[in-house]
C-alpha cells in the first residue's frame, strides 16, 4: 500500500462483508421457507425476507465498488485521495440508510417496486452519498495521472449513479413503470456495472500477472465497447411482455444475444493475461477469485442469460425458476466473486498481514462456487419442469410447486454450503494472521 | 492486428459507439413511451381506483412473493392474469368481491402450504387492488402468459 488514504477501503470492505453475511443468511432463511413454508410466516413473511436478501446484496456490492475505487484510484492516479473525511462521511450516510431501511422493512414500511423498496429518505441518502463519492473520486483523478482503468471505472460509476434518478420515477401507468424500472435494473448489471467489473478486473490482472499496462488497457476498451454496444439495446429482452412495441422482440433478442461477447471476452482476457504474465504474485487466492469470477460470470450471465433471452424461449420461461437460476449465478460470478477477489487482494495489505495463509480463503472459494453451481443446476431443473407443467400443460401454479419439493430441498443444501463458504471467507480475511515470510504461501491450515 | 487496433482507436470506437447506441435507445424510448400511453394500455381507463390499487400493491410489497406480468418473486402465483383466471376480468363488482374474500381468508394456516400474510385493508383499498389487477390484465402483453395458469 503506497498511499495512506487507501486505508478508507478497509472500512468499506468491512461493512460490505458484514452485509454479505446478512445477505446470505437472509437467502438461507428464504430457501428454508420454500422447504418449510410455515416458518415465521406470521412474524417475518417471505416478502420481507426476500427484500432484505436482495437489498443487502445490492448495497454491499456497491460498497465493495466504492471501496475498490478508493483503494485503486490513488495508485492509478499516483496521489492521495482528495478527501478521506468525505469518504468516511459517505460511508456513514450509507450505513445509516441501510440500517434505516432494514428497520423499516422489519416493521412493514417499504415500497413495492422490486429492489427499490427503500423509503424515500433512504433513496435520497443514497443519492447524496453517490454525489459525495463522485466528487471525491473525480477530483482525485483529475489532479493526477489518467489511465484507462480510472477512465472506465469513473465512467461506469458516473453512469450508474445517473441511472439512480429512475429510482424516483414511478409512473401510475404500470407499463411505463416497468419500462423505466428496467433502466436501473438492466442497465446496471448489463451495462454500467460491467464497466466497473472490467476496470477492477483489469487492475487485478495488472497487479497479479505483471502484464504490460498497454496490453491490459487495449483489451479493456474492447471489452467495454462490446458491453455497451450489446447491453444498451439488449434492454429490449425485458420489453417483450409489458406492453411495449413488438419490435423489441427482435431488437431485444439480437442485441441481448451479443451480450455474451463481453463476458466471454473478460474470461478470455483473464486467462490470457495469466498465461502471458511473468510475475508470480504470492496472493494465489486473489488470482483464483479473479479467474473464478470471470469464468462463473461467463456461465451465469452469458450462458444462463442466453438460455432464456430469445423471445420465443422467453415466452415460456419468463418469470419461472429458470429466471431465478440465472439471476443467482450471474450475480455471484460477475459481481460477488469479483468483489471478493478485490477484498482478497487488498485486505492483507490494508491490515498489514501479507503474506498470509490462503488455504482457508481458497477453500471458501470452492465451497461458495460449488454451492452456487449446484443451486443453479437444481433451480434450472425445477424451472424446466415448471415450464413444462405450467406453461405447456396449463397446470395451476401451486399444484406445480407442490411437485418441486425435492429440488427446493437440494437448493437449501446448496445454500447452506454457500453460507459456510461465506463465513469461512470472512474469517479468513478478518482473523487469520500474518504468516512467517519464509513459509510457503499455500500450505497447511492455519 | 495490434497495429490496426491501437489503444486510442479502441477508446474512440468505445466512446463514439456508446454515444450512438445511447441515442438510438433514447429515440426508441420516446416512441415506446407514447406507444404505451396511446395504444397498449387504453382498453381500460386509468381511474383513481386503479391508482389507489397500484399504491396499495406497492405499499404491501406483493411483488416480493408474486409475479406481475412475469416480474417479481417466484414464490406465489402470477397475478397479471388472475382476473381472467377467475373469470371476472369484465365484472368489476365480482372482481372486488372475489379478491376481497381471498385477502380476508389469508393466511390459510394450512400446515405445509405457502402462506400469504394477513393484510389490513379498507373496502376501498381492496376495490382499488381488484381494479388495478383488472387494468393490468387488460394491457396488451403480446398474448403472454401462454395460458390461464399464468
Ligand atoms: C452479470 C450480469 C447479469 C446479472 C447480474 C443478471 C441478473 C438478472 C436478474 C436478477 C434477473 C431477474 C430480474 C427480475 O427480478 O425480474 C435477470 C433477468 C434476465 N436476464 Fe439477466 N443478468 C445478467 C446478464 C444477463 C445476460 C448477459 C443476459 C442475456 C444474454 C441476460 C438475460 C436475462 C433475461 C432474458 C432475463 C429475464 C428473465 C425472465 O424473463 O424472467 N442476463 N437477470
Ligand atoms: Fe437484462
3-state secondary structure A282-329: CCHHHHHHHHHHHHHHHHHHHHHHHHCCCHHHHHHHCCCHHHHHHHHH
Query: Shortest CB distance from A242 goes to which of B17, B57, B69?
Result: B69
**Residue B78, SS3 per DSSP:** strand
The answer as to whether B101 is a domain residue is yes
The tally of CA atoms less than 13 A away on the side-chain side of residue A25 is: 7
* Residue A185 Cα: closest atom of ligand 1: 13
Gap from A210 CA to chain B (nearest CA, Å): 19
Query: What gap in Å lies between CA A431 and CA A361, rounded to an integer?
Result: 11
Are residues B55 and B124 located together in one domain of the fold?
yes
> Residue B19 sits in which domain range?
1-38
The answer as to whether B73 is a domain residue is yes
Write down the pLDDT at residue A1. 85
Is residue B1 over pLDDT 60? no
Are residues B78 and B125 located together in one domain of the fold?
yes
> Residue A241 and residue B112: Cβ atoms within 8 Å?
no
The answer as to whether B124 is a domain residue is yes
Tell me, in angstroms, the distance from the centre of ligand 1 to residue B86's CA: 31
CATH number assigned to the domain comprising residue B125? 1.10.760.10
Tell me what ipTM this predicted complex has: 0.97
Write down the pLDDT at residue B2. 64
Gap from B58 CA to chain A (nearest CA, Å): 4
Are residues B1 and B67 located together in one domain of the fold?
no
Are residues B81 and B11 located together in one domain of the fold?
no
The answer as to whether B107 is a domain residue is yes
Are residues B132 and B109 located together in one domain of the fold?
yes
**Residue B68, SS3 per DSSP:** strand
Comparing C-alpha atoms, which of A266, A238, A231, A136 is closest to residue A180?
A238
CB-based contacts of B8, cutoff 8 Å, min separation 6 = none
Query: What gap in Å lies between CA A328 and CA A318, rounded to an integer?
Result: 15
Are residues B12 and B85 located together in one domain of the fold?
no
Query: What gap in Å lies between CA A201 and CA A156, rounded to an integer?
Result: 14
Question: Which residues in chain B are closer than 8 Å to A113, comparing Cβ atoms?
Answer: 58, 63
Write down the pLDDT at residue A436. 58
Query: What gap in Å lies between CA A126 and CA A118, rounded to an integer?
Result: 10
CB-based contacts of B131, cutoff 8 Å, min separation 6 = B47, B49, B50, B52, B53, B92, B95, B96
What do you get for the CA distance between the two ends of chain A, in Å?
24
Determine contact: B38 vs chain A, CB below 8 A.
Answer: no
Is residue B84 over pLDDT 70? yes
The answer as to whether B93 is a domain residue is yes
**Which of A327, A329, A336, A338 best tests ligand 1's pocket when mutated (most atoms within 8 Å of CB)?**
A327
Question: Which residues in chain B are closer than 8 Å to A174, comparing Cβ atoms?
Answer: 41, 54, 68-69, 132, 135-136, 139
* Domain total in chain B: 2
Residues of chain A with pLDDT under 70: 436-446
Q: Which residue has the cell 492483507?
A: A348
Are residues B5 and B66 located together in one domain of the fold?
no
Q: Is the peptide bond before B86 cis (omega within 30 degrees of 0)?
A: no
> Residue A46 and residue B22: Cβ atoms within 8 Å?
no
| Confidence category of residue B5, pLDDT binned at 50, 70, 90 | confident
Are residues B88 and B123 located together in one domain of the fold?
yes
Q: Where are the alpha helices (DSSP H) in chain B?
A: 7-35, 48-59, 82-85, 92-104, 123-137
The answer as to whether B148 is a domain residue is no
Query: Shortest CB distance from B7 goes to which of A33, A218, A392?
Result: A218
Write down the pLDDT at residue A444. 39
Amino acid at each position: 500500500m503506497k498511499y495512506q488514504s487507501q486505508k478508507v477501503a478497509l472500512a468499506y470492505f468491512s461493512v460490505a462483508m458484514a452485509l454479505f453475511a446478512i445477505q446470505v443468511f437472509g437467502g438461507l432463511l428464504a430457501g428454508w421457507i420454500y422447504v418449510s413454508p410455515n416458518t415465521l410466516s406470521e412474524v417475518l413473511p417471505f416478502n420481507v425476507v426476500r427484500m432484505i436478501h436482495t437489498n443487502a446484496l445490492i448495497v454491499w456490492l456497491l460498497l465493495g465498488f466504492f471501496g475498490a475505487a478508493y483503494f485503486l484510484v490513488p495508485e492509478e492516479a499516483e496521489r492521495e485521495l482528495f478527501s478521506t473525511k468525505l469518504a468516511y462521511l459517505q460511508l456513514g450516510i450509507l450505513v445509516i440508510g441501510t440500517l434505516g431501511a432494514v428497520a423499516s422493512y422489519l416493521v412493514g414500511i417499504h415500497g413495492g417496486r422490486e429492489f427499490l423498496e427503500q423509503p424515500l429518505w433512504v433513496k435520497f441518502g443514497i443519492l447524496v452519498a453517490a454525489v459525495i463519492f463522485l466528487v471525491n473520486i473525480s477530483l482525485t483523478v483529475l489532479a493526477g495521472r489518467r489511465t484507462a482503468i480510472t477512465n472506465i471505472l469513473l465512467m461506469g460509476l458516473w453512469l450508474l449513479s445517473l441511472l439512480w434518478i429512475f429510482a424516483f420515477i414511478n409512473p401510475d401507468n404500470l407499463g411505463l413503470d416497468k419500462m423505466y424500472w428496467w433502466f436501473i435494473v438492466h442497465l446496471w448489471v448489463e451495462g454500467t456495472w460491467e464497466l466497473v467489473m472490467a476496470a477492477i478486473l483489469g487492475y487485478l490482472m495488472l497487479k497479479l500477472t505483471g502484464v504490460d499496462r498497454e496490453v491490459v488497457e487495449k483489451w479493456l476498451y474492447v471489452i467495454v465497447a462490446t458491453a455497451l454496444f450489446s447491453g444498451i439495446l439488449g434492454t429490449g429482452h425485458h420489453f417483450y411482455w409489458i406492453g411495449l412495441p413488438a419490435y423489441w422482440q427482435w431488437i431485444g433478442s439480437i442485441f441481448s444475444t451479443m451480450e455474451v461477447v463481453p463476458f466471454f471476452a473478460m474470461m478470455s482476457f483473464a486467462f490470457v493475461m495469466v498465461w502471458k504474465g511473468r510475475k508470480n504474485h504470492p496472493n494465489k487466492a486473489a488470482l483464483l477469485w479473479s479467474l473464478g469470477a470471470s469464468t462463473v460470470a461467463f456461465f451465469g450471465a452469458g450462458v444462463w442469460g442466453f438460455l432464456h433471452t430469445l423471445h420465443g424461449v422467453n415466452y415460456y420461461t419468463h418469470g419461472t425458476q429458470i429466471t431465478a437460476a440465472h439471476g443467482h449465478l450471474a450475480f455471484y460470478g460477475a459481481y460477488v466473486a469479483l468483489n471478493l477477489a478485490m477484498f482478497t487482494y487488498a485486505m492483507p495489505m490494508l491490515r498489514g498481514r501479507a503474506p498470509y495463509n490462503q488455504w482457508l480463503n481458497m477453500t471458501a472459494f470452492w465451497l461458495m462456487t460449488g454451492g452456487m453451481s449446484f443451486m443453479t443446476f437444481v433451480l434450472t431443473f425445477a424451472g424446466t419442469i415448471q415450464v413444462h407443467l405450467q406453461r405447456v400443460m396449463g397446470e395451476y401454479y401451486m399444484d406445480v410447486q407442490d411437485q418441486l419439493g425435492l429440488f427446493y430441498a437440494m437448493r437449501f443444501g446448496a445454500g447452506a454450503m454457500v453460507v459456510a463458504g461465506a463465513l469461512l471467507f470472512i474469517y479468513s480475511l478478518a482473523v487469520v494472521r500474518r504468516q512467517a515470510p519464509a513459509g510457503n504461501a499455500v500450505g497447511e491450515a492455519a | 492486428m495490434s497495429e490496426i487496433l491501437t489503444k486510442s482507436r479502441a477508446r474512440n470506437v468505445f466512446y463514439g459507439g456508446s454515444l450512438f447506441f445511447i441515442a438510438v435507445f433514447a429515440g426508441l424510448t420516446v416512441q415506446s413511451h407514447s406507444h404505451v400511453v396511446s395504444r397498449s394500455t387504453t382498453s381500460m381507463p386509468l381511474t383513481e381506483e386503479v391508482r389507489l390499487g397500484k399504491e396499495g400493491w406497492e405499499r404491501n410489497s406483493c411483488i416480493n412473493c408474486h409475479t406481475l406480468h412475469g416480474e417479481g418473486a417466484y414464490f406465489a402465483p402470477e397475478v397479471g392474469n388472475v382476473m381472467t383466471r377467475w373469470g371476472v376480468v369484465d365484472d368489476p363488482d365480482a372482481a372486488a368481491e372475489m379478491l376481497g374474500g381471498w385477502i380476508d381468508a389469508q393466511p390459510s394456516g394450512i400446515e405445509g402450504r405457502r402462506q400469504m400474510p394477513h393484510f389490513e385493508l379498507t373496502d376501498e383499498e381492496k376495490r382499488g387492488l381488484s381494479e388495478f389487477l383488472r387494468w393490468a390484465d387488460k394491457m396488451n402483453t403480446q398474448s403472454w402468459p401462454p395460458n390461464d395458469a399464468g
